[in-house]
Amino acid sequence: MKGLVVGVVVGAWALILGLGFIWFISRRKRHKDNKLDDHINDVFFAGGFQTGIGPKKFSLVELVKVTSNFKDELKLGEGGFGAVYRGYLRELDTYVAVKRVSKASKQGIKEYASEVTIISRLRHKNLVKLIGWCHEKGELILVYEFMANGSLDAHLFKGKSLLTWEVRFKIVQGLASALFYLHEEGDHCVLHRDIKTSNVMLDSSFNAKLGDFGLARKS
């Protein structure tokens, strides 16, 4: 009987210690995520970003819902930055591309903030439209308009489709128009600094739109 009591007491203490350890780890993670969120806000507002205008601030719950919890079957692509998922916004009745930045990505907080603060001020038919953003619980997420024909590199190098010379010329014209706007027509000169075929997106009519402004800089 004495051995049974001792066993119960030891087991109870082990359970309490285990639960305490789990609570400590969870609390520490929440604290770390909150510090990250606060740091991102500091970076945003230091750059004069106003949350009341431009792209919408989404909650993490909303984006989990529209991507079916970032379901693998909805993944559009993946790279060093993380992964892009197709989502559906019921209130706008439209598909979107949801870019979830990997926590192991070299694309850090400043690049994420740069993309939001710079592209939110740009308006041009040949730039990918930023619909919204989210930084919550340590997640960095961007929501873009959905580009039905994906990136240019998929057609040039991966055999997605054969682009006619007429279509290629239209793509070149669109990209040139985007760069002229960034360099000459906008309120500020914006240097993209990462122009490559994987960052040139194509809509359903093969109109080119330049995206991924994580390395962009105003001058």
Phi, psi of 92 (to 5 degrees): -100, -5
Phi, psi of 187 (to 5 degrees): -65, -30
User: Would you give the distance in Å from CA 176 to the centre of its chain?
Assistant: 25
Average pLDDT over residues 154-158: 93
Write down how long the chain is. 219
> Per the residue annotation, which of 33, 37, 153, 194 is the catalytic one?
194
- CATH superfamily, domain 56-218, is Phosphorylase Kinase; domain 1 (3.30.200.20)
Place of tokens 């997420």: 141
In the prediction, which pLDDT does 145 show? 95
Of the candidates 81, 103, 91, 118, which has an alpha carbon nearest to the alpha carbon of residue 36?
A: 103
pLDDT band at 115 (very low <50, low <70, confident <90, very high): confident
194 catalytic per annotation: yes
C-alpha span between 76 and 79 (Å, rounded): 11
Domain range summary for the chain, segments of one domain joined by +: 56-218
In the prediction, which pLDDT does 13 show? 58
pLDDT per residue as tens digits for the range 10-20:
555 555 655 55
- Helices 109-119 and 2-46: crossing angle, nearest 10°? 40
In the prediction, which pLDDT does 214 show? 78
Query: Is 6 a residue whose pLDDT tops 90?
Result: no
Checking 197-200 for CB contacts under 8 A at 24+ apart, the result is 197/151, 197/152, 197/153, 197/156, 197/157, 198/79, 198/151, 198/152, 198/153, 199/151, 200/151, 200/152, 200/153, 200/171, 200/175
pTM: 0.75
Q: In the numeric block, which tokens belong to residue 161?
A: 């489709």
| Residue 99 assigned to a binding site | yes
Whether the CB-CB separation of 161 and 151 falls below 8 Å is answered with no
Most trustworthy range by pLDDT among 12-16, 30-34, 36-40: 12-16
Of the candidates 138, 67, 140, 118, which has an alpha carbon nearest to the alpha carbon of residue 130?
A: 118
